[in-house]
């Protein structure tokens, strides 16, 4: 029987176990260099379809090769600004898909964008853009140093930078480079006007200055007390009543507005009114545009009537109004008989403007061949 192994026996190396040692060999030769990478490129794409150029602040949907690099507008945060070849500057408003985006025009035609409605061709390049930054400014003393006194060694150049003229070189009391002498030797007096003369300047009192300037007496009058003793004044519009005028350009216009009579006379007439048909309206052209009828006369010119007939003066249809009318002409049976039509339907002072009135016949008995003349009298307005 063999004895069991103990823990001590397991931890001790036996003398006959082999010793293993790794010794590195010589390094191998370096490998060949790898190939160079290709050059990078700025983010851009191309359009794949034609689109119409929108107006300023107008939107357009564009189709492109890829939209992954575009950044759309988020709430109040402005979207990416892009430049589209042949079109101009736009803001990316919305990404619809990997090949479509909505862009908004942010420049007018005057600022460089294409005209509205122009077809932007396919294969146009689309690249990132930007907006113009704020206008720069120079420090408080930079303008002086850069433009005015840049050449401190040359006083003439410095004066030129300051845009000084020859008067800047004149001393008080001296005539220099054709600058007029201004001092008491020119007999200058307080309150007088200064005028140039052949040798310099001179002063003139108020009267002489007015004459020299060609001013008339109107220039010396008080604005609230102007007197006009000659000439004429033409107003571009009529002077209103509140300013002492009439409000009209001509007397006829004023008379019309005030309903002033222009005269009494014949306003209209009609010959050969027949009675063969009932309710026949024959036009009578009025001679004036605004009138008031006073009297209408009827005259038989060939024979008397054989039945009971009526004759009236009416306004044009559809709003027919009997101005004056007879109830019957049967009593009038003598040739060349005159009669006045009764004032049945006209109010005192009633003014009319119809350019045409009508004589209306109304036979109720045996037809007649009688012919009648009608005369309309009254006042016309100018």
* Burial class of residue 49, CB neighbours in 10 A (0-12, 13-18, 19+): middle
Whether 87 is covered by a domain: the verdict is: yes
Query: Is 269 found in the same domain as 348?
Result: yes
The number of helix segments (H) and strand segments (E) in the chain equals 5, 18
Whether 276 is covered by a domain: the verdict is: yes
Residue 348 has pLDDT above 50, yes or no: no
0.85 cut: is pTM over it?
no
Which CATH number fits the domain that encloses residue 343?
A: 2.60.120.1110
**CB 65 within 8 Å of CB 122:** no
pLDDT computed for residue 83 by the predictor: 95
Q: How do 372-381 and 291-300 pair as beta strands? A: antiparallel
pLDDT top residue among 48 and 358? 48
Q: What percent of the chain has pLDDT over 90?
A: 22
pLDDT top residue among 377 and 234? 377
Whether 13 is covered by a domain: the verdict is: no
Q: Which of 154, 187, 217 is the last residue of a domain?
A: 217
Which CATH number fits the domain that encloses residue 121?
A: 2.40.30
Query: Is 351 found in the same domain as 272?
Result: yes
Q: How many domains does one find in the chain? A: 3
pLDDT top residue among 5 and 39? 39
Query: Is 294 found in the same domain as 350?
Result: yes
Please, which pLDDT band fits residue 25 given cuts at 50, 70 and 90? confident
| pLDDT digits 0-9 by tens, 155-202 | 777 777 777 777 777 665 555 555 555 554 556 677 777 777 777 777
pLDDT top residue among 201 and 58? 58
Q: Which of 217, 248, 275 is the last residue of a domain?
A: 217
Whether 124 is covered by a domain: the verdict is: yes
Please, which pLDDT band fits residue 347 given cuts at 50, 70 and 90? very low
Query: Is 183 found in the same domain as 121?
Result: no
pLDDT top residue among 71 and 130? 71
Q: Which of 70, 104, 128 is the last residue of a domain?
A: 128
pLDDT top residue among 338 and 91? 91
**CB 149 within 8 Å of CB 164:** no
**CB 123 within 8 Å of CB 46:** yes
Query: Is 338 found in the same domain as 276?
Result: yes
Please report which helix (H) or strand (E) contains residue 256, including its range. Answer: helix 251-257
Distance CA(256)–CA(289), nearest Å, equals: 10
Q: How far is CA 201 from CA 163, 209, 357, in A?
A: 26, 13, 81
Whether 88 is covered by a domain: the verdict is: yes
Please, which pLDDT band fits residue 331 given cuts at 50, 70 and 90? very low
Please, which pLDDT band fits residue 369 given cuts at 50, 70 and 90? low
Whether 40 is covered by a domain: the verdict is: no
pLDDT computed for residue 349 by the predictor: 52
Query: Structural domain of residue 213, as residue ranges?
Result: 169-217
Query: Is 299 found in the same domain as 199?
Result: no
**CB 294 within 8 Å of CB 340:** no
Please, which pLDDT band fits residue 93 given cuts at 50, 70 and 90? very high
User: What's the whole-number average pLDDT of the chain?
Assistant: 76
Degrees (nearest 5) of the Cα angle 204, 208, 209? 65
pLDDT computed for residue 345 by the predictor: 47
Whether 184 is covered by a domain: the verdict is: yes
Query: Is 371 found in the same domain as 290?
Result: yes
pLDDT computed for residue 21 by the predictor: 77
Query: Is 274 found in the same domain as 212?
Result: no
Query: Is 365 found in the same domain as 270?
Result: yes
**CB 273 within 8 Å of CB 323:** no
């Amino acid at each position: 029987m063999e004895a069991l192994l103990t823990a001590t026996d397991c931890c001790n190396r036996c003398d006959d176990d082999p010793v293993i040692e790794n010794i590195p060999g010589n390094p191998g030769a370096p490998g060949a260099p790898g190939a160079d990478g290709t050059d990078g490129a700025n983010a851009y794409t191309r359009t794949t379809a034609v689109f119409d150029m929108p107006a300023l602040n107008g939107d357009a949907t564009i189709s492109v090769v890829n939209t992954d690099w575009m950044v759309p507008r988020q709430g109040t945060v402005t979207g990416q600004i892009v430049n589209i070849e042949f079109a101009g500057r736009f803001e990316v408003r919305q990404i619809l898909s990997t090949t479509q985006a909505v862009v908004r025009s942010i420049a007018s035609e005057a600022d460089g964008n294409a005209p509205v409605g122009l077809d932007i061709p396919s294969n146009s390049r689309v690249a990132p853009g930007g907006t113009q930054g704020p206008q720069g400014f120079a420090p408080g003393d930079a303008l002086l140093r850069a433009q005015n006194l840049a050449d401190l060694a040359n006083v003439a150049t410095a004066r030129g930078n300051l845009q000084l003229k020859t008067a800047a070189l004149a001393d008080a009391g001296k005539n220099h480079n054709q600058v007029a002498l201004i001092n008491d030797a020119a007999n200058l007096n307080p309150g007088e006007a200064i005028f140039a003369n052949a040798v310099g300047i001179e002063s003139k009192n108020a009267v002489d200055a007015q004459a020299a300037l060609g001013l008339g007496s109107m220039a010396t009058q008080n604005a609230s007390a102007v007197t006009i003793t000659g000439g004429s004044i033409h107003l571009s519009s009529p002077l209103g009543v509140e300013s002492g005028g009439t409000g009209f350009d001509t007397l006829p216009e004023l008379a019309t507005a005030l309903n002033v009579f222009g005269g009494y006379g014949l306003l209209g007439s009609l010959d050969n009114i027949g009675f063969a048909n009932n309710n026949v309206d024959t036009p009578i052209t009025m001679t004036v545009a605004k009138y008031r009828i006073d009297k209408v006369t009827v005259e038989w010119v060939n024979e008397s009537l054989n039945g009971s007939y009526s004759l009236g003066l009416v306004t044009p249809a559809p709003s027919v109004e009997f101005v004056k009318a007879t109830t019957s002409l049967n009593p009038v049976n003598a040739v060349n008989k005159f009669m006045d039509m009764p004032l049945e339907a006209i109010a005192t002072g009633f003014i009319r403007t119809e350019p045409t009135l009508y004589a209306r016949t109304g036979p109720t008995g045996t037809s007649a061949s009688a012919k009648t003349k009608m005369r309309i009298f009254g006042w016309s307005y100018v």
